Structure 1
Amino acid sequence: MEQFLWLIPLRFIVGTFGTLIGAGGGFILVPVLLLLYPGQSPETITSISLAVVFFNALSGTIAYRKMKRIDYKSGLIFSAATLPGSILGAFTTSYIPRDIFDGIFGVLLLGASVFLLLRPKKEGDLAKEVPKGHMRRTLTDAEGNTYFFSYNPVVGISLSLIVGYISSLLGIGGGIIHVPALVHLLNFPVHIATATSHFILAFMSLSGSVVHLASGILSKGMWQTLALVIGVLFGAQLGARLSKRFHGVWIIRCLAVALGLVGIRIFIMAF
C-alpha cells in the first residue's frame, strides 16, 4: 500500500516533466520503480515504464497536435528508422559487456549534459539557400509562430537508428537522446523538437509494449501500470501547456539536467 501512495506524485512528475522536455519520463520512472519494488524483475520494471511512457507520449502528442508543433513528415520517417535499431539493440544485449558499455555511455551523457548547459540552443533564421541534400521544413503553430529549418535526412535517419538501438539496449526512453540530437545536429527549433520527439516516442514505446504484453511480462506489473497511467495522462497535458511558458533555452537546460542525472545513474550501475 505504501508503494502505491508513492505512485500518486510520481505519475504527475513523470507526465509533466517528461512531456515538457520531450523525453517521455522513463528516465525518472525506471530508477524510482526499482527502489519501490526491489522484488520485481528488471524486465517487469522496464515493461511497466515502457507502457506508461506510451500513454504519456500519446497524451502529449494529442496536446502538441492542438498546438500544431509536430513535424509529422519528419516524425514518421524517424519513427520508421528507430524500429531496426530497437531490434538490433535487443539482439546484441547478450554480446556486449554491459558494465563497459554503461560506463562509456554514462560518461558520454554527462558530457552531453555539460555541453547543453554551456551551449543552449539559440533560435536563428533559416539560411536563404538550403544546403544540397537537405529537407526544408516550414511549420506554423496554433499561436501563429512560423518556424523555418532544414536538415539532412540521411543524418536524421542514422541518428534515429542509433537512438532506437541505445534505447533498446539500455532500457531508457529515446526522447532524452533524440531531443538534443534534433536541436543541435538537425537544426530543429526546440519547441518543434520536443513535440516531434513525443510523436516518435509514441511509436517506439507502443512497439515495445506490444512485445511485452504478448510475452506476458507486462501482466506482472499491470496494477502499477494502471495506477501510473491515470496520472501521466493529465501530467502530459500540463507539461505541454507549460511548454508555452518556457523559452526554448530553458527547456534545453532542463533536458541537460535530466541527461546528467541519467548519465550518473548509468555510470554508477557500471560499477
Structure 2
Amino acid sequence: MATFILLLGIGLLAGISGSLVGLGGGFIVVPLLAFIFPDMPPSHLAGTSMAMLLFNSISSTYVYAKQKRIDYQAATRFAAASIPGSVIGALFVEHIEGKMFFVSFGFFLIIIALILLYKPNKPILWPFKPTVNRSLIDNSGERFDYAYHMPTGIVISFMVGFMASLFGVGGGSLMVPTMTLLLGFSPHIAVATSMLQIFLSAIVSTSTHAFLLNIDWFMVLGLAPGAIIGGQIGARLARRLPAKLLLKILAVFLIVVSIRMMLRG
C-alpha cells in the first residue's frame, strides 16, 4: 500500500510539472523510479514512464482542447514524423547498458535545464522561409498569428520521437523550445500542441514497449491516476502562474537530478 501511495504521488508531481510547461512528465518519473527502485532495468524505466505519459497526455490534451489552443494540423504532422523515431527508440533501449543509460539521461537533463534557463526571449532567426501560416483564436478570444517552416518541424520531430522513447520522456522538453525558438509558435500554443503530439506518439511508443514486455503495469496503475489528476491541474495552472519562475525552479531541479543520475552511471 505504501508503494502504491508513493507511486501515486510521483505520478501527481509528474503530471502537474509536465503539463504545466508542456514537457510531459517522464523527466520526473524516470529519475525517481531509478532512485527508489535501483534494480529496475533501463528498458523498464523507459517503458513504464512512457505508459504513464500516455495517461498524462490524455488528461492534459483534453484541457488544452477545451481552451482551443491546440494547432491540430501541426500536432498531427509532427506526431506522424515522431512515431517512426519512437519505435526505433523503444527497440534501441533494449541494448543500452545501465551505466550508459544513466549517464546519457543525465546529460539529456542538463541540456533541457540549460534550454529552460537561458532560453532567448525572441525566436531565433531561421534561414528558411515559412511554409505554413496559421491563425488561432482560443476560447477567451485571444488571437495567435504565426508562420513556420514545416520541414524543420518534421525533421526535428523524428529525432525527438527517438529520444523520447529511448529515455521514456514526453519529448516536449525538446519540441516546445523548437516550436517557440525556431518555428515561431506562441509559447501557449506550443505547450498545448506539444501535449497532443506527445499523446499521439505515446500511443505507438507505449504499444512497442508493451510488446517488448518493458512495462511494469503495477507501477503504471499507481502512477496513472496521479498523472491524470496532475495533468488537469497543470494545464489549468499554466494560464495563471508566472512561467519564468516555474521554469527556473524546474531547471535547478533537473540539474540536481542529472548530476545524481550521472554519478550513479
Using structure 2 for the length normalisation, give the TM-score: 0.84
Give the C-alpha shift of residue 3 in structure 1.
2.2
1:149 alignment counterpart: 146
The DSSP-based 3-state class of the residue aligned with 1:40 is coil
Task: Write the distance in 1 (CA, Å) between the matches of 2:147 and 2:253.
Answer: 27
The answer as to whether partners of 1:26 and 1:173 remain within 8 angstroms in 2 is yes
Match of 2:236 among 232, 237, 241: 241
Summarize the Cα distance change of 1:146–1:253 in structure 2 as closer, same or farther, 3 Å threshold: farther
Write the mapping of 1:62-73 to structure 2, written as runs, cut at 5 A: 62-73=62-73
Q: Structure 1 residues 141-150 or 105-114, which shifts more?
A: 105-114
CA distance in 2, matches of 1:45, 1:37: 9
Secondary structure at 1:139's aligned position in 2?
strand
Query: Once the 2 structures are TM-superposed, how far is the Cα of residue 216 of structure 1 from its aligned partner?
Result: 3.7
CA distance in structure 2 between the partners assigned to 1:4 and 1:267 by the alignment: 27
Q: Deviation string for 1:78-135 (max 9, x for gaps)?
A: 0000022223334555788996797577556535533542345359xxxxxxx74421
- Structure 1 residues 189 and 82: CA distance shift in structure 2, 3 A: same
2:227 match: 232
Q: CA distance change for structure 1 residues 184 and 229 in 2, over 3 Å: closer, same or farther?
A: same
Report the CA distance shift for 1:119/1:15 in structure 2 as closer, same or farther (over 3 A). Answer: closer
Cα distance, 1:157–1:251 mapped onto 2, change above 3 Å: farther
Partner SS, residue 144 of structure 2: strand
What secondary structure, in the 3-state scheme, does the structure 1 residue paired with 2:22 have? coil
The question of 1:182 aligning with 2:211 is answered: no
Say whether residues 1:4 and 2:8 are aligned partners: no
One-letter amino acid matched to 1:238: I
Q: Deviations over 1:206-235 (max 9, x none)?
A: 1121123334443xx222211221122111
User: Is the CA contact (8 Å cut-off) linking 1:174 and 1:201 kept in structure 2?
Assistant: yes
8 Å CA contact 1:69–1:191 kept in 2: the answer is yes
Partner of 1:173: 170
C-alpha displacement at 1:249, in angstroms? 4.0
Structure 1 runs not aligned, ≥5 long = 124-130
Identity of aligned residues (%): 36
SS of residue matched to 2:23? coil
1:137 alignment partner AA = R
Partner secondary structure for residue 10 of structure 2: helix
Contact persistence 2:83–2:161 (CA under 8 A): yes
Equivalent residues of 1:120, 1:249 under 8 A apart: no
SS in 1 for 2:185: coil
| Aligned counterpart for 1:198 among listed residues 195, 204, 216 | 195
- Provide closer, same or farther for how the CA distance between residues 43 and 99 of structure 1 changes in structure 2, counting only shifts above 3 A: closer
Cα distance in 1 between the residues matched to 2:214 and 2:108: 31
Q: Assess if the C-alpha contact under 8 Å between 1:85 and 1:164 holds in 2.
A: yes
Alignment-mate amino acid for residue 162 of structure 1: M
Q: 1:111 to 1:60 in 2, by over 3 A?
A: closer
Provide the aligned length of Structure 1 versus Structure 2.
Answer: 262
- Aligned partner (choices 135, 138, 148) of residue 132 of structure 2: 135
Alpha-carbon distance between aligned partners in 1 of 2:101 and 2:227, rounded to the nearest angstrom? 31
